[in-house]
Amino acid sequence: MKHMLKYILIGLGTIVLEWIFLTLIFELFNGLDQASGVVIGTAFFLAFEMVICTGAIISKIEKSKEQ
């Protein structure tokens, strides 16, 4: 149960982070209409998230190899 609560909090934190990120990206690309700004912001955030998740997976794999 403790692990599940941890992952739920991580998920909620990710949602809040994406909300902030979309707001900032939409302001940076202010020449776009709202739909295009949301699509570009979501794509940037997903790319950022993939880099973070890949790093976490690689560090877990390397950690388990050391043990």
Tell me the per-residue pLDDT of 26-66, one tens digit each, with 9 for 90 and over: 778 778 888 888 888 888 888 888 888 888 888 888 888 88
Number of domains in the chain: 1
Domain span at residue 34 reads: 2-66
pLDDT of residue 60: 86
pLDDT of residue 27: 79
| Dist CA 10 CA 31 (whole Å) | 33
pLDDT of residue 31: 80
Contacts of 48 (CB under 8 A, 6+ apart): 21
Task: Give the helix/strand (H/E) hosting 30.
Answer: none
pLDDT of residue 2: 73
pLDDT of residue 63: 85
Collapsed DSSP state (helix, strand, coil) of residue 33:
coil
Task: Give the helix/strand (H/E) hosting 31.
Answer: none
pLDDT of residue 25: 78
